Structure 1
Amino acid sequence: MLHPVTLLDPDPDAGQVRVNVEVAAITFVDTLIRAGSPVAPPVTFPVILGNGVGGTVDQVGPDVDPTCIGTRVVTTTGGSCGYASLAIASTHDLHRVPDRLSLREATALLADGRTAVGLHQAASIESDETVVVTAAAGGVGSILVQLAKSSGARVIALAGSRTKLDHARALGADVTVNYRDADWPTRIQESAGDGVRVAFDGVGADTTNALFPLVRRGGRYLSHGAAGGSWGTIDENAAAARGVTLIGLSAIGATGMFDLTERALDLAAHGVIRPTVGQTFPLDQAADAHAAIEHRHTIGKTLLLP
């Protein structure tokens, strides 16, 4: 159960600041934690969920330069305690928000932006390659559509409703396919021309079983999520035999999550990508926000407003 509580205001220690939170990010992982999913990280309850916030620094630790008070920042919070009106963060995790971006836009890029940018870099997309993006209207997927187009790719967007497919097309997708249609693999195959070169799979489960065979020799398959309830399973020997390179989330860690977030913020500030803030909820309605995500009623990023 999610319910609001009132706690004492936290004070930052050495190397920390306190953020007056204006926007708190929700990730799909938060809903998996509540559901007890085997793909979610283990936690001890009770817990304050949330690992990303945007706001203004209002207090600093004893060794932190006080001139940063009043600065607009987005930051991770060490894995928890993001669903709050005040949050503690390490100075090493702070990102100054570019003037061209709102706090909502910047917060939407914290987790989804760095993931999408890292995956895009790892995929090494070339001009005119055909790229499939699953969950193409989601937080990560919507950014991947834009990044793939910026590389000159032909993008096939996969999503589960007409509204979501229309949104993916508005972001630049060349072809849209509804995965609720039984023949969706055939439609992708028919639309792929000389074959799928790159597949971004944030869904896993049965989607992986149907999508992986569509990737042609020399292609890349990037698994980055389990929105379908479990990670997809791919036979590494079968992939090697077909010359398909398998790329997981571990491949983007080498770049450094902080640098990837900085890159995402910079790309957004220069108009290369724009995050989709699909819906917002008051902080005390976090449970309603989770329900909307779980029932696939959301587009892009869902944010909480303390």
Structure 2
Amino acid sequence: MRAVWLHEFGGPEVLVPGEAPDPVAGPGQVVIEVAFVNVTFVETQFRASGQGPFRPELPMIPGNGVGGVISAIGDGVDPGLLGKRVVSSLRGSGGYAERVAVDAGQPVEVPGGLDLDLAVALLADGRTASMLVDRAGLTGGERVLVEAAAGGVGSVLVQLAKAAGATVVAAAGGAHKLELAADLGAEHVVDYRKPDWTDRVREAVGGVDVVFDGVGGEIGAAAFELVERGGRMFSYGLASGSWAEIPEAAAEARGVTVGAPAASTPEELRGFVQSALAKADAGALRPVIGQRFSLDKAADAHAAIASRGTVGKTLLVP
């Protein structure tokens, strides 16, 4: 089968298409015929430096999320799974390929009315956004600032926060991204590439009750200053290259809760995926797929994400 290999860490060009053995469904496993591959910002960081939540040995096939149809089953697996449309995480590697083998309990079935590409777009980003909104405990009337609001997670956060009754302020870079965030339901949009962006937020809503920080660095630190007493700030990404440095004393002085979302059990994470898929199937959540690349062009996909010019989810198509 065709796959994309990582033999060394470095720029996007280290992602090299090649051949790999077809996976076989062992006992308790299924093989998924991959139709779409989820590409995340975390994967671009891992490719560049080897840093990330997973550290498989090189050479390896990267990729942690796919969607497709179950085409083979191993011993002890329910034959009824054959032909099911599913999305699945892969525990860190193997996704940039035409086929993958996973434990039979890992895939999540895709609702019948939801296109498979949209389901893949929600596998990682819908799970993360759903977890963040759950942890934030949003209530109606709260003011929520979403950074990187046109990105994969941010575009879902805008919609979920809006559905929870919040007033959403979307921060992103450039007119096209701001238009997208407004179209998804943000009442106010600000360009955080401009030096006075925090002033624009204050003019629109005063302070904010919740920040979802997907950028980190100086942007995240500036967003913290907008959080009012007793508010919450959740960091889930570092598009800037570093986490926001928030002085603990400053947070305590204003009673602001700062942190990353707490780790979840596998069952809870699965539930967040199912929740996002169900909302999309019902028309209550619109995944944004901004760009697609053929599997052999995985390097181009990584380069596009690194350029900060992408919107929504980036997919590979085998």
The TM-score by the shorter chain falls in which range?
A: over 0.9
Q: Which residue of 1 aligns with 2:269?
A: 257
Residue type of the alignment partner of 1:282: S
Three-state SS of the structure 2 residue aligned to 1:264 is helix
State the match for 1:152 in structure 2.
Answer: 165
Residue pair 1:37, 1:229 contacting (<8 A) in 2 also: no
The correspondence for 1:170, drawn from 155, 173, 183, is 183
Q: Secondary structure at the match of 1:17?
A: strand
- Structure 1's 37 and 203: CA in aligned 2 closer, same or farther, altered over 3 A? farther
Going from structure 1 to structure 2, the CA distance change for 1:153 and 1:255 (only over 3 Å counts) comes to: farther
Aligned equivalents of 1:209, 1:11: Cα separation in 2: 48
2:276 maps to 1:292: no
Aligned partners of 1:133, 1:265: CA distance in 2, in Å?
A: 21
- 1:176-187 → structure 2 map (5 Å cutoff): 176-187=189-200
Residue number in structure 2 paired with 1:20? 33
Structure-2 residue corresponding to 1:232: 244
- What amino acid sits opposite 1:138 in the alignment? G
Q: Identify the range of structure 1 (180-189 vs 287-296) with the bigger mean alpha-carbon deviation.
A: 180-189
> Structure 2 residue aligned with 1:6, among 16, 19, 25?
19
Distance 1:278 1:201, change over 3 A: same
Q: Deviations over 1:26-51 (max 9, x none)?
A: 01011101111756644432221111
Task: Provide TM-score, normalisation by structure 2.
Answer: 0.92
- Give the alignment partner of residue 271 of structure 1, picking from 258, 283, 287: 283
| Partner of residue 255, structure 2 | 243
| Counterpart residue number, 2:216 | 204
Compared with structure 1, are the counterparts of its residues 120 and 181 closer, same or farther at alpha carbon in structure 2 (3 Å cutoff)? Answer: same
Q: Which residue of 2 aligns with 1:214?
A: 226
How large is the RMSD of aligned CA atoms in angstroms?
1.5
For the residue of structure 2 that corresponds to 1:4, the secondary structure is strand
What secondary structure is seen at the aligned counterpart in 1 of 2:168? strand
SS of 1:56 mapped into structure 2: strand
Report deviation, 1:258.
Answer: 0.9
Query: Post-superposition shift, 1:250?
Result: 2.1
The alpha-carbon deviation at position 286 of structure 1 amounts to 0.5
Match of residue 223, structure 1, among 218, 230, 235: 235
Matches of 2:305 and 2:53 in 1, distance apart? Answer: 16
Contact 2:56 2:93 in 1 (8 A): no
TM-score, normalised to structure 1, is 0.96
Displacement after TM superposition at 1:238 (Å): 2.0
* Alignment check: 8 A CA contact 1:137 1:167 kept: yes
* CA distance in structure 1 between the partners assigned to 2:306 and 2:31 by the alignment: 31
Q: What is the one-letter code of the residue matched to 1:22?
A: A
Task: Give the secondary-structure state (helix, strand or coil) at the position aligned to 1:232.
Answer: coil
Q: Distance in 1 between matches of 2:265 and 2:103?
A: 19
CA distance in 1, matches of 2:162, 2:196: 25
- 1:128 corresponds to 2:169: no
Q: Deviations over 1:144-194 (max 9, x none)?
A: 00011101111110001110000000000011111111111111122123x
Partner amino acid, structure 2, of 1:224: Y
**For the residues of structure 1 that align with 2:159 and 2:222, how far apart are their CA atoms?**
24
3-state SS of the aligned residue for 2:60? coil
Q: Which consecutive residues of structure 1, in runs of 5 or more, have no partner in the other structure?
A: none
Q: Is the 8 A contact 1:33 1:43 kept in 2?
A: no
1:78 corresponds to which of 83, 86, 91:
91
Alignment partners' CA distance in 2, 1:251 and 1:7? 34
Aligned-partner residue type, residue 142 of structure 2:
E
- Residues 77 and 37 of structure 1: CA distance in aligned 2, closer, same or farther (over 3 Å): closer
CA distance in 1, matches of 2:249, 2:233: 14
Deviation at 1:5, TM superposition (A): 1.0
- The alpha carbon displacement at 1:235 in A equals 2.2
Do 2:54 and 2:92's aligned partners in 1 also have CA atoms closer than 8 Å? Answer: no
